[in-house]
Structure 1
Amino acid sequence: MHDFYLKLRMLRKEKKITQQQLADRLGITKAMISAYENGIRLPSYDILIKIAAIFNVSTDFLLGINTARNLCVKGLTEHQIELLTAIIEELQHVNHKDI
């Protein structure tokens, strides 16, 4: 859980939402979001599940158990999904060669 605060901040900034906006969506205070992002407090299970849903990631990702992330392909054509899959596989192949 030691990386939870870093992941939360990263995901929030990627989605371009403020701490207040995230707090409003979760039904908690901005101070709680700040405490999470500064590693002072950890969320309850219920809040953790809601955070995962908002950012379309697994709770395992948030907890550092699994580094895989989900991509939302809603609204994309089958061809576009195939293209994204090919790009991801190529990038993984390139990155693996560098190791």
Structure 2
Amino acid sequence: MSKQNGVLGKRLKELRAEKSISQQELADKIFVAQQTVGGYEKMGNVPDIEILIRIARYFHVSVDYLIGAVDERTPITDISTHDLTASEAQHIENLRKLSPELQDVFKKASDEINKFADKKDK
């Protein structure tokens, strides 16, 4: 197992733990089998680039971070903060830290608030 393979498995396991999700839950999100995720984490198997990108997007980190090329968790797509207030940027950061389930709850609540605001403006 190469250093990068070991780093990938370790980082994947850490990221899953931070979101409190199982291998099966991650597998469902990235469209692979649970055994495949286990292979990445425990056996040093390396996903193809398409799967790496899915994993990076799901966890809001770069592929470089996943494979151990860098130690910073730079997201794939950084929101330009020059147009955001400090409070807005903090809200976005907090949202990204939520579990997928809580992100869904937040999105639904936000959609309802926007519907209400739209009705009020009419």
State the TM-score, normalized to the length of structure 2: 0.58
Whether 1:41 and 2:41 are equivalent positions in the alignment is no
Corresponding residue for residue 78 of structure 1? 85
Separation in 2 of the partners of 1:7 and 1:79? 29
1:70 positional shift: 3.6
Over the aligned positions, Cα root-mean-square deviation in angstroms equals 2.0
Q: Where do 5+ consecutive residues of structure 1 fail to align? A: 83-99
Whether 1:22 and 2:26 are equivalent positions in the alignment is yes
State, as a whole percentage, how many aligned pairs show the same letter. 33
Q: Which runs of 4+ in 1 moved over 3 A?
A: 70-73
Separation in 1 of the partners of 2:61 and 2:10? 14
Corresponding residue for residue 10 of structure 2? 6
Bigger radius of gyration? 2
Q: Indicate the larger mover: 15-24 or 64-73.
A: 64-73
State the TM-score, normalized to the length of structure 1: 0.70
Q: Work out which of the residue numbers 41, 49, 58 in structure 1 matches 2:62.
A: 58
More helix by share: 2
Separation in 2 of the partners of 1:78 and 1:37? 38
Separation in 2 of the partners of 1:29 and 1:42? 14
Q: Where do 5+ consecutive residues of structure 2 fail to align? A: 91-122
Separation in 1 of the partners of 2:44 and 2:7? 12
